[in-house]
C-alpha cells in the first residue's frame, strides 16, 4: 500500500510540474508588480504565479500547524481533566455508604 501511495504522489508531482511548465511556456510575458513596499519591474508571469502560490502554501502550512498545536494542547488538558475526574470518582467509591436514617 505504501508503494502505491509513493507512486501516486510521484505522478501527482510530475503532473503539477508539467502543468507549471506548460503555464510558463504559454505565458512568456513580463509584468511589473507593486507589492506595497517594493516595486518589481519585468517579472515573468510564471515566476510571479509560482512565488504567490508558494507563499500561499507556506501560509497554509503555518496556519494548519498552529491549529494542530492548539488541538494537541486541548487534548493534553482534557486528558489531565479526565485523570482528575477518574481519581475523584475512585476516591468517592471507596467512601463508606451512609444510611439516610
Give me the pLDDT at residue 69, please: 98
Residue 53 contacts residue 45 (beta carbons within 8 Å):
no
Buried b vs exposed e over 57-67: b needs ≥16 C-beta within 10 Å?
eeeeeeeeeee
Residue 47 contacts residue 29 (beta carbons within 8 Å):
no
Give me the pLDDT at residue 66, please: 98
Give me the pLDDT at residue 100, please: 57
- Please enumerate in sequence order all residues whose Cβ is within 8 A of that of 29, keeping only pairs 6 or more positions apart, or say none: 44, 45
pLDDT single digits (tens) 80-96: 999 999 999 998 888 87
- Mean pLDDT per 10-residue segment, the chain (101 residues): 92 92 88 88 89 94 98 98 95 77 58
Q: Please state, in angstroms and rounded to a whole number, the distance separating the CA atoms of residues 88 and 90.
A: 5
Amino acid at each position: 500500500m505504501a508503494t502505491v501511495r509513493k507512486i501516486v504522489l510521484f505522478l501527482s508531482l510530475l503532473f503539477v510540474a508539467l502543468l507549471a511548465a506548460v503555464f510558463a511556456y504559454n505565458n512568456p510575458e513580463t509584468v511589473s508588480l507593486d507589492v506595497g513596499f517594493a516595486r518589481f519591474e519585468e517579472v515573468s508571469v510564471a515566476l510571479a504565479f509560482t512565488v504567490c502560490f508558494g507563499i500561499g502554501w507556506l501560509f497554509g502550512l503555518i496556519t494548519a500547524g498552529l491549529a494542530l498545536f492548539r488541538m494537541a494542547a486541548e487534548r493534553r488538558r482534557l486528558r489531565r481533566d479526565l485523570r482528575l475526574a477518574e481519581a475523584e470518582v475512585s476516591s468517592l467509591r471507596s467512601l463508606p455508604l451512609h444510611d439516610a436514617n
